[in-house]
Structure 1
Amino acid sequence: MTPLSSQSRPIRVSLAIALMGAAVAHAHFQELIPSTDIVDAASGNALTLEMRFTHPMEGGPLMAMGEPVQVGVLSPGGREDLKSSLREQVIDGKGTYRLDYRIKQPGDYVFYLEPAPYWEQAERAMIVHYTKVVVDAFGAEEGWDSDVGLPVEIEPLVRPYGLWAGNLFQGIVKRDGKPVPFAEVEVEWRNDGSITPPADPYITQVIKADANGVFSYAMPRAGWWGFAALLEGDEPMKNPDGEQVPVELGALIWIYTREMR
């Protein structure tokens, strides 16, 4: 395998040749899914956001989430800490989180999540996926491209709501506020059970950003799409056994598309 730069290489531990035929480790995605991406008079001003760590195209399994480090929203009213609104819910024996939020005024609401680091034994790495999703409220359509200021982040170049299936989404992969050249981006559709991937490469789409950190992807089906730019952490982190191990940093954004009918 050709080595990638340390800025854009996702952390994957190679299996020994003797383990030929072993299952491929599929992509992890931190989900941050609102009950709607567009709030209007018909939907009302109440939102529920679900937080799960899983394999969205495969429909699971769930990985247990620890208590998030931070969760919040950038809105017309400024930055709001929502951690006190978190509610843990156990699904299939695994911890997940949710929160209820009430929209206060028209504008775009950029919800964001920093989960607790997750120890992935198979990859011998800690995983931290900084995740965000944008909800438009009452047609204001302002603020959707605001950066949260996360260590790694995707800045949308296309308004991330009001999209049809087949539309092209573009974003800039950033680290410490600066574009990451040639970053690798994994893409998965949140499967509703209607699609069975015919082979492993269909589960996770893989694209690379250009020299300016810009990537593009045309979403072929209606539903939620996750974009995850995976970068290597600068510093190792202790795993649950106290060992210093590499860190996979993920910059994630979720986008919803609808069929044109």
Structure 2
Amino acid sequence: MSCKPASESRFGAASRLLAVLGLVLPIAAQAHFLELIPSTEILTAETGPALTLALSFTHPMERGPAMAMDTPARFGVLTAEGREDLSPRLQAVERDGQRAYSAEYRVSEPGDYLFFVEPAPYWEPAEGVMIVHYTKTVVDAFGAEEGWDRMVGFPVEIEPLVRPYGLWAGNLFTGVVTRDGEPVPFATVEVEWRNDGSVEPPAAAFVTQVLKADANGVFSYAMPRAGWWGFAALLEGEAPMTNPDGESVPVEQGALIWVHAREM
């Protein structure tokens, strides 16, 4: 009777394990993020008053693939003057062969401009849930630096405790996860960097950073690299929705905020 060397047996077992993991890891790493990315987070005399905003439902760290977006339920901007509906400015574009959106905006005066989007619910059959990610980002215009902590009034929302612009790579971003205006204790927060192609995650665990808020709904994360960072607090919706097959299914409500860090 012959026996395989121990090293060969271990290699065979490892190969079988990797084959299994090869099926599991790509699915586990697919964290959905609704991107709401302005062409800059700070408008100055050098940049001028014009902005382009890109909306896409995708996987930021993995650079896709993007998922098709239906027309958002709401898209607007909140300033000291109130709310402005920007839905008529939305233009359908294509990303990874899927529908995404773009919009142009020109600021009229100095101030902080809080752009927000409530997307149409997205059916995710792999998870058996409808996904609604309430998303926002803040742009400062001409050094006003006031109003960055305004709240849209979404059902679930992140309240920034750190000014969400003028950030260096390495700064600590802190926020409060809220539902109906009240803090959510121990909420799970996922964090992803919008990859520009310069980073290859060494393992699936590096794609999405996962945090838990404390008993007061407060979380913090030190952004190690320049670029756009998305923070997504994921909560179970209080009421089910109907999926495309007419079935009543759970809802994943996401409270998202995008912030930008620059190299010092």
- 1:71 aligned residue (56, 71, 75): 75
1:119 counterpart = 2:116: no
- Asked which structure has the greater CA Rg, the reply is 2
Alignment-mate amino acid for residue 121 of structure 1: P
Report if aligned partners of 1:33, 1:50 keep a CA contact under 8 Å in 2.
yes
Partner SS for 2:231: strand
Q: CA deviation at 1:91?
A: 2.4
How far, CA to CA, are the matches of 2:96 and 2:180 in structure 1?
36
How far, CA to CA, are the matches of 1:119 and 1:148 in structure 2?
24
How far, CA to CA, are the matches of 1:76 and 1:214 in structure 2?
26
Q: For residue 10 of structure 2, what is the aligned residue in structure 1?
A: none
Alignment-mate amino acid for residue 124 of structure 1: G
String of CA shifts for 1:67-103, please: whole Å, max 9, x gaps: 0000011113211111111111122320001110010
Q: For residue 202 of structure 1, what is the aligned residue in structure 2?
A: 206
Q: For residue 17 of structure 1, what is the aligned residue in structure 2?
A: none
Q: For residue 144 of structure 2, what is the aligned residue in structure 1?
A: 140
Q: For residue 82 of structure 1, what is the aligned residue in structure 2?
A: 86
Q: For residue 10 of structure 1, what is the aligned residue in structure 2?
A: none
How far, CA to CA, are the matches of 1:210 and 1:35 in structure 2?
33
1:30 counterpart = 2:30: no
Partner SS for 1:84: helix
How far, CA to CA, are the matches of 1:211 and 1:70 in structure 2?
31
TM-score normalised by the chain length of structure 2: 0.90
Q: How many residues align?
A: 242
How far, CA to CA, are the matches of 2:47 and 2:148 in structure 1?
20
Q: For residue 53 of structure 2, what is the aligned residue in structure 1?
A: 49
Higher relative contact order (CA 8 A, sep 6+): 1
Q: For residue 177 of structure 1, what is the aligned residue in structure 2?
A: 181
Q: CA deviation at 1:250?
A: 0.1
Report if aligned partners of 2:64, 2:96 keep a CA contact under 8 Å in 1.
no
How far, CA to CA, are the matches of 1:45 and 1:91 in structure 2?
26
Query: What do you get for the CA RMSD once the two structures are aligned?
Result: 1.1
Regions of 4+ moved over 4 Å: none
Q: CA deviation at 1:210?
A: 0.5
Q: CA deviation at 1:151?
A: 0.5
How far, CA to CA, are the matches of 1:75 and 1:137 in structure 2?
11
Partner SS for 1:161: coil
Aligned pairs for 1:85-104 (under 5 A) are 85-104=89-108
Report if aligned partners of 1:76, 1:105 keep a CA contact under 8 Å in 2.
no
How far, CA to CA, are the matches of 2:202 and 2:193 in structure 1?
15
How far, CA to CA, are the matches of 1:223 and 1:191 in structure 2?
8
Q: CA deviation at 1:45?
A: 0.2
- 2:223 aligned residue (203, 219, 224): 219
Alignment-mate amino acid for residue 41 of structure 1: A
1:130 counterpart = 2:134: yes
TM-score normalised by the chain length of structure 1: 0.91
5+ residue gaps, structure 1, are 1-19
Aligned pairs for 1:1-16 (under 5 A) are none
Q: For residue 229 of structure 1, what is the aligned residue in structure 2?
A: 233
Identity of aligned residues (%): 70
User: Which protein has the bigger helix share?
Assistant: 2
